Amino acid sequence: MKLYAPWEKAFNRIATPFEHFIHAQTTTGLILMGMTIVALLLANTPFADA
């Protein structure tokens, strides 16, 4: 029986779903589409010169 520190169980509850999300194949596509939208928005604002 392994003893866990109080924060380890809470961390595992947060990290495990996040790890599943990161390793999913659709995640890369969603991130790419999101960053494309951000780039288009920034390119059409006054910040485009920066």
Positive or negative, the CA dihedral 9, 13, 18, 19 is positive
pTM greater than 0.75 (yes/no) = no
pLDDT of residue 27: 76
pLDDT of residue 1: 59
pLDDT of residue 36: 97
